[in-house]
Structure 1
Amino acid sequence: MMIKSLFAGISIALKNKKMIGIYYGTNLIFGVILMIPFRFLLERVAGTSLIGNNLVAGTDMDFVFEFIIKNQNAITGIRGLILIVPIIFWLFGLFLSGGAFGTFIHRHKYEASYFWGESAKYFGRFFRLFLFSIPIFILFYSLQFLETAVQYLIYGNDPYQSVIYWGGWIKIAIGYLGLLIAYLIFDYARIYIVMFDVRSARKAIWHGFKFAFKYFPKTLGISFTYFILGISFLIIYNLIADSIFDRNWFLIAALIIIQQIYMIGRTTLRLSLYGSQSFFYKHFNTIENEDAAPSSTPYI
């Protein structure tokens, strides 16, 4: 069922190209808003710094340190923009997810009025759901510190250098895995809200938790597969980008096009994940399984 859900999710996403365009356009707009101030700062430094001559081959730590030192006042001035834009971007993504889940669960095909209506309908519920999910995110992300505890119990205050090195990588892996589990609980809670029109955030997060762990190998397998695909896309893009050293305008234009293809690919993966999760959830919550449907509940 996991493999079937993966292919179904990709198929559903590819059938909703307009939705891919909306997500891609959102990423592009917020990315441009955030990058414009940095472009002017970068242009100023690159024009006055000898290190800027090597910028076409990629940045290094020398350039990063010089960039920060020479632009401390300017960076302080746009600090608010750096903080606010990602938050607004995340909130807008949360808003769009209501339309995506609503379409995948009830309609399958993008319709503008339905998509935006569902986005507006569920945004408030999803935001409350996120607030209720914060302890879950903290709990699962904190699992990485178990590695520190085990390391201390076995090696004490003076572990071997190799233990510190590999322990650091293990801690990073556990941290990412914890966030992945927290997000899949959050995702299935959102699906539950959309499928049964639930208003109670507490009921939804508890149901998402139970469903995610009831079918844990499969629910984690779906999310982990898309996570690996996303990492693979990033590695391929970086390999291509790092191979371009020439200042030829044709190659620079080609790199920009490749970058946009990468962004579209990542956007398609996100919607495919939503589609796979929706398909998987619906499979295990058919009409004859009505005990999963909630009764009338309070708003929270």
Structure 2
Amino acid sequence: MNILLLSFRQTLGSLRLVGLIYGLTLVLALVVALPFYSTLKVEDQDSRAFLTLLDGFDYTIYSDFMHRSERAISPLLRAGRWMSILYVFLSVFLAGGVLFRFSQPTGRFSVGAFLAACSHYAGRFLRLFGVTLLFVLTGAGVWLVAGSVVSIALSDTLTERGLFWIGGGFFCLFALTATYVLCIGDYAKVLMFREDERNAFRAFGRAGQLVWQNLTRTYGLYWLMILLGTILFGVYFLLDDLITMRNWPTILIMTVVQQVVIVKRIGLKIWWLGTAYHSYTLLPKPANAPSLTGESIGTPTARGESTRGLSTLPE
């Protein structure tokens, strides 16, 4: 809990960092949202049918609209999918800067130093992202394939309720495996940052050892963050039911609520990465883990000495 409180205080002390990431996220969203809004204004032809969607989703209205305006909307939907992929890569890119911030807790936040750290670790974190994605697809995907095979094999024997429980069980195994791999990936980021590790597979393997040997203090904290995020979205959906968007004031209120949720979600992600950073410094390392080098940006030495400046970035 001390680690959680420490990283939480540092997250609160990094509001400029949270604001910067929120601003970047908002820009990406507006790149798609503004053309989408303009297109909807043209395609709805002053129809009031869309106003009924404020009370809840109506598939009939959606299907009728898409049947009439799919040619105009489809390019925007594709742009939205590409923007989602760009957002994932942006998250990977920003991770180095976030870790650098937690390695310099008492220093003043500098956008230049933050972006320099992001750029410095972008390549190795992208390689790590590929390794993590590979393990998610192979490890967690096995449960989805196995669940499908079992459901097909027992489809003539079990009732719909039985098939539902089988599918739900395999989906839980998928979720546990996927989150476990993602947790290892985050600790691998910290390892690559702290020890200037460049080999993504080796970093992932060593992080896997660390997480497995300290499940409660690593994977347990990861699930605690997931639980906090779930509660946050639960509160949002509760407010969405209580504040029915029937006029401009209620729409404005819910817009503000949505933006607050986004900011808090960004804060949760930063908080978790800071928690992983501090956990790694305190947890016993696997026997084959070499000593810290302290050569890369923001990486304290094994004795906890001060970090090097930006001019000492390794090539």
What is the correspondence of 1:230-245 to structure 2 with a 5 Å cutoff? 230-245=229-244
The one-letter code matched in structure 1 to 2:181 is A
1:158 aligns with 2:162: no
Which of these residues, 58, 61, 65, is aligned with residue 60 of structure 1?
A: 58
Note if contact 1:143-1:174 (Cα within 8 Å) is conserved in structure 2: no
1:96 aligns with 2:94: yes
Distance 1:257-1:293 versus aligned 2 partners, 3 A rule:
same
The one-letter code matched in structure 1 to 2:103 is I
The one-letter code matched in structure 2 to 1:76 is S
What is the match of residue 217 of structure 1? Answer: 216
The one-letter code matched in structure 1 to 2:176 is L
175-184 or 16-25: bigger deviation = 175-184
Which of these residues, 3, 7, 10, is aligned with residue 9 of structure 1?
A: 7
Q: CA deviation at 1:255?
A: 1.3
What is the match of residue 192 of structure 1? Answer: 191
CA distance in 1, matches of 2:142, 2:2: 31
Distance 1:108-1:216 versus aligned 2 partners, 3 A rule:
farther
Helix, strand or coil at the partner of 1:159? coil
TM-score, normalised to structure 2, is: 0.83
Q: CA deviation at 1:221?
A: 1.0
What is the match of residue 291 of structure 2? Answer: 293
Note if contact 2:147-2:166 (Cα within 8 Å) is conserved in structure 1: yes
Helix, strand or coil at the partner of 2:198? coil
Q: CA deviation at 1:80?
A: 4.0
The one-letter code matched in structure 1 to 2:70 is Q
Q: CA deviation at 1:204?
A: 1.0
What is the match of residue 205 of structure 2? Answer: 206
Q: CA deviation at 1:128?
A: 1.3
59-68 or 92-101: bigger deviation = 59-68
Distance 1:256-1:50 versus aligned 2 partners, 3 A rule:
closer
18-27 or 241-250: bigger deviation = 241-250
Distance 1:219-1:246 versus aligned 2 partners, 3 A rule:
closer
Aligned residues: 292
Distance 1:47-1:156 versus aligned 2 partners, 3 A rule:
closer
Structure 2 alignment gaps of length 5 or more: 296-313
- Structure with the largest fraction of helix: 1
CA distance in 1, matches of 2:282, 2:123: 27
CA distance in 1, matches of 2:291, 2:155: 51
Q: CA deviation at 1:188?
A: 0.8
184-193 or 43-52: bigger deviation = 43-52
The one-letter code matched in structure 1 to 2:58 is D
CA distance in 1, matches of 2:56, 2:39: 16
Structure 1 alignment gaps of length 5 or more: none
CA distance in 1, matches of 2:288, 2:111: 30
Note if contact 2:92-2:129 (Cα within 8 Å) is conserved in structure 1: no
The one-letter code matched in structure 2 to 1:70 is R
Which of these residues, 24, 27, 52, is aligned with residue 26 of structure 1?
A: 24
Note if contact 1:140-1:181 (Cα within 8 Å) is conserved in structure 2: no
Q: CA deviation at 1:164?
A: 1.7
Distance 1:80-1:148 versus aligned 2 partners, 3 A rule:
closer
What is the match of residue 177 of structure 2? Answer: 178
Distance 1:131-1:63 versus aligned 2 partners, 3 A rule:
same
